[in-house]
Amino acid sequence: MKGCFFSDPHFREIFNHFRDGIFIADHNGIALWINDASTKQIGASKGYVIGKSAYELEEEGLFTPSVTKSVLEKRETISRVQTSNNRQFLATGTLITVDEDYSEYVLVHVKDITETVRSSLKLEKAEAVIQYYVEEIQKMKYEQHVDDDAHPRLIGKGKVHEEVMDLVKRVAKVDATVLVLGETGVGKSVIAETIHNQSERANKKFVQINCAALPDSLIESELFGYKKGAFTGANAKGKPGLVEEANGGTLFLDEIGELPLSLQPKLLQLLQDKMYLPLGDTIPRSADVRILAATNRDLGEMVKKREFREDLYYRLNVVSIRVPPLRERREDIIPFLSHYMQHYNQKYERSATLTNEAIDTLQSYDWPGNIRELENMVERMVITSTSDVILKSALPEKILSHEPFHDSGFSIDRNQSLPLYLENIEKQAIKKALKEKGSTRKAAADLGMTQSALMRRIKKYNIYPK
């Protein structure tokens, strides 16, 4: 994080966008960066503040008392009412540890409360905003390891995401047919576009067609085009198809399992010989096109039921990439929430935030609609929320009624309460993960929770990582 983030224009734009003050210091309390709102709050320029210690700034009266100093001394999240420039502020500071290099930083969020009496609800909002900032900083640290040409919508930092991205990078380098598998809403089209963007065909067209979106009678003419007069109602000049449009580039066939059986031999010919025949024509044409396909169906079972050609299946399935559903990569749910909250807040000029309780509830939900469902939920909440603080109670009913625990037939000591039993189970699981994984980041990923949530539980149970 040293220096590179503070000179990054995206970093500056994100943090300067907030009306509240942001102050970041290193492990010695030396000011590394402040946003524009913070300079207005304290009445001093960035050049004056950056490079000075929190102790010096407190002595000069810019921060009274210094939250940064308290955080470094007590090594826990601290909230204080500060006085600066004849105004009062609610300052919440937290200690951030970056696992990659074990560096520590203090991030302080400062809200002007001179004109407003802070309620407990607004304090919770400040804490939620801090958690959002922590996740963003951790995500930025991770993203510096991602190639510059990586697709911006490919969000994730867990082991499962890394494995998928590693396979994407490897198959992008070769000109092979790829079959992308996964449930509805997991981002199969994004994976396909990323393969194209990282391939040698990146400067050519990426053409996409959804095989389920068109009636059987139109798919063939859309794919292969037609010669003039090929059928009644056809364009008098004929029409080139998507194969011709994608020539030299990539053709992505989404929902390939819905391709009619009658059309599958023509696609097989294109895959085998790079040749195709437009409707009404008698002379085959050649096409230098790479085929990528995606489906949420089990093509192997369709082959057994004679609903899909076996030879086409094997031609498509040269390399397959399975995109896991969100329930198998829960560590990526919060990065997705952060991304879409920021996107739709900016789009609709809102400043909505999720409380910690709401975030925990969303992370335990199974997301049957995956990323598409999550994005739609966030957009709806940002639009309809009557408050900038989105509470757990404001979440959709189907999420609130979701029961994450299933009957497993276990029994507990009748002299031990269920909450105490569950706490002991959680404590032992955390100790085991810390011992096996060696870092809080890896342990959190293994447990299916965020690093910040894990750190709260470590503090709660007085666990000392070895």
Q: Which of 72, 78, 116, 155 is nearest to 336 (CA)?
A: 155
β-strand partners of 250: 206, 290
Contacts of 53 (CB under 8 A, 6+ apart): 28, 29, 30, 31
Query: Residues 329-333: what's their mean pLDDT?
Result: 88
Q: Which of 124, 128, 130, 139 is nearest to 108 (CA)?
A: 130
Task: Report helix, strand or coil for 368.
Answer: coil
Residues 133 and 170 grouped into a single domain: no
Q: Mark which of 307, 324, 341 sits at the end of a domain.
A: 324
In the predicted model, is pLDDT for residue 302 greater than 60?
yes
Residues 174 and 288 grouped into a single domain: yes
Q: Are 243 and 256 in contact (CB under 8 A)?
A: no
Its domain, for residue 448, covers 418-461
Residue 4 within a domain = no
Give me the half-sphere count of Cα atoms (radius 13 Å) on the Cβ side of residue 238. 13
- Phi/psi for 132 (5° steps) reads -60, -45
Residues 266 and 135 grouped into a single domain: no
Q: Are 316 and 175 in contact (CB under 8 A)?
A: no
Give me the half-sphere count of Cα atoms (radius 13 Å) on the Cβ side of residue 247. 11
Quote the Cα angle for 393-399-402, to 5°: 115
Q: Mark which of 280, 304, 324 sits at the end of a domain.
A: 324
Report the Cα 118 to chain-centroid distance in Å.
32
Residues 296 and 341 grouped into a single domain: no
pLDDT tens for 244-300 read 999 999 999 999 999 999 999 999 999 999 999 888 777 889 999 999 999 999 999
Residues 371 and 453 grouped into a single domain: no
pLDDT tens for 403-424 read 454 444 444 454 555 666 677 7
Residues 315 and 339 grouped into a single domain: no
pLDDT tens for 46-58 read 888 898 888 888 8
User: How far is the C-alpha of 369 from the C-alpha of 372, rounded, in Å?
Assistant: 6
Q: Mark which of 324, 348, 378 sits at the end of a domain.
A: 324
Give me the half-sphere count of Cα atoms (radius 13 Å) on the Cβ side of residue 378. 30
Residues 242 and 201 grouped into a single domain: yes
pLDDT tens for 124-168 read 555 666 666 555 554 444 344 333 333 445 788 788 888 999 999
Q: Are 310 and 303 in contact (CB under 8 A)?
A: yes
Both tokens of 165, joined, read 């991205």
CATH number of residue 259's parent domain: 3.40.50.300
Query: Residues 117-125: what's their mean pLDDT?
Result: 50
Both tokens of 335, joined, read 């990065």
Residue 407 within a domain = no
Residues 228 and 316 grouped into a single domain: yes
Q: Pick the more confident residue, 83 or 139.
A: 83
Residues 199 and 293 grouped into a single domain: yes
Q: Are 113 and 316 in contact (CB under 8 A)?
A: no
In the predicted model, is pLDDT for residue 368 greater than 70?
yes
User: How far is the C-alpha of 22 from the C-alpha of 30, rounded, in Å?
Assistant: 14
pLDDT at 325: 92
Query: Residues 110-127: what's their mean pLDDT?
Result: 61
User: How far is the C-alpha of 328 from the C-alpha of 333, rounded, in Å?
Assistant: 10
pLDDT tens for 164-213 read 999 999 999 999 999 999 999 999 999 999 999 999 999 999 999 999 88
What is the dihedral angle through the alpha carbons of 423, 429, 431, 437, rounded to the nearest 10 degrees?
-150
pLDDT at 346: 92
In the predicted model, is pLDDT for residue 220 greater than 70?
yes
User: How far is the C-alpha of 344 from the C-alpha of 360, rounded, in Å?
Assistant: 20
Query: Residues 31-52: what's their mean pLDDT?
Result: 86
Residues 306 and 455 grouped into a single domain: no
Residues 320 and 184 grouped into a single domain: yes
Q: Which of 327, 346, 349 is nearest to 338 (CA)?
A: 346
Q: What's the mean pLDDT when you consider all of the chain? A: 82
pLDDT at 411: 47
pLDDT at 126: 58
Confidence of residue 8 (pLDDT cuts 50, 70, 90): low
Q: Are 197 and 149 in contact (CB under 8 A)?
A: yes
pTM: predicted TM-score of the whole model, two decimal places: 0.56
Residues 106 and 195 grouped into a single domain: no
- Phi/psi for 314 (5° steps) reads -70, -30
User: How far is the C-alpha of 79 from the C-alpha of 140, rounded, in Å?
Assistant: 25
pLDDT at 137: 52
**372-378 own/partner pairs: CB under 8 Å, 24+ apart:** 372/184, 372/185, 373/185, 374/326, 374/333, 374/336, 374/337, 374/340, 375/336, 375/340, 378/337, 378/340, 378/341, 378/344
Q: How many structural domains compose the chain?
A: 4
Question: Cis link prior to 404 (omega < 30° from 0)?
Answer: no
pLDDT tens for 440-460 read 888 888 887 887 888 888 888
User: How far is the C-alpha of 430 from the C-alpha of 124, rounded, in Å?
Assistant: 26
- Identify the helix (H) or strand (E) that includes residue 423: helix 418-437
